[in-house]
Amino acid sequence: MDNCIRHFTGYLTVERGLSLNTVSAYAGDLTALEDFLKNTGISHWRGVDREDLLDFLDFLRDRGMESSSIARHLTAAKMFYRYLTAEKLVDADPTALMDSPRLWRILPDCLSVAEVDALLGAYVSGGDALEQRNRVILHLLYASGLRVSELTDLKVGSVDFETALLRVRGKGSKERVVPVAGNVLQMLRRYIAGAREELISLIPQTPYLFVSHRSRRLNRERVWAVIKEAAFRAGIAKNIHPHTLRHSFASHLLANGADLRAIQEMLGHADIGTTEIYTHVDRGRLAAVHQKFHPRG
């Protein structure tokens, strides 16, 4: 990966004529991105998607980085991927849909438990097949902390109703098992027997768990739209992204005493350092513990 950064900085110096200070800043930003990606198990720039970049930006914010500096990191990534695309070193540019005059505003917020409840109630149980599908998607994302790409890759056979586990294929095609709450498991059972049967009428042989009204596997953009619509219905003003529910899943587990290693395993993080970004959220509980147990609290 680092050879690409070196070639890119040479391009900026020779062909773009940027100053050494500017080139050095971009190189530092990209090296930080490279280190983060390697810790999540990604070894080539071709394997990076938009979710990975959002995870990285969120990682920077959770470590106290200023918004302007986060925006600069994203600018460096965008320039870098334009270069990689032009040189045909990657197949697609994951930053292409991340255009905004205030780039850091795409970063997702963690939801409170009350906000999660409102979001999960955005699609009612008595709606049509699409509403039923959307309701299950929201509940499953929060219940199991899935990446949106993992959710869209789920097949009917991924759900083990006997053990209440999901078999999930994550980064680097690594498979892991994730628990599913009993109420969500029941929702899945009803969805598979009812709404999904209606949705797969055009392609009844499809193995995918979540499909469109045309019976095709649901794509990530559509899941994003489902979550945005749910946030609008629930009256949530925060910037919602599929990662928001994953972030909230981990943060709420941690707040209720879950072991960080267990959260790491459920999220599929290769390095616990990545999981530790969630420890910042529970500052209120830490303050309460300090006040209760410290001699001069």
Catalytic residue numbers? 147, 171, 243, 246, 269, 278
Handedness of CA 161, 163, 165, 169 (dihedral sign): negative
Closest Cα to residue 218, out of 245, 201, 200, 194?
200
Q: How far apart are CA 148 and CA 135, in angstroms?
A: 15
Beta-bridge mates of residue 165: 160, 179
- Helix (H) / strand (E) containing 283: helix 283-293
Q: How far apart are CA 186 and CA 199, in angstroms?
A: 19
Q: How far apart are CA 126 and CA 155, in angstroms?
A: 24
3-class DSSP assignment, residue 86: helix
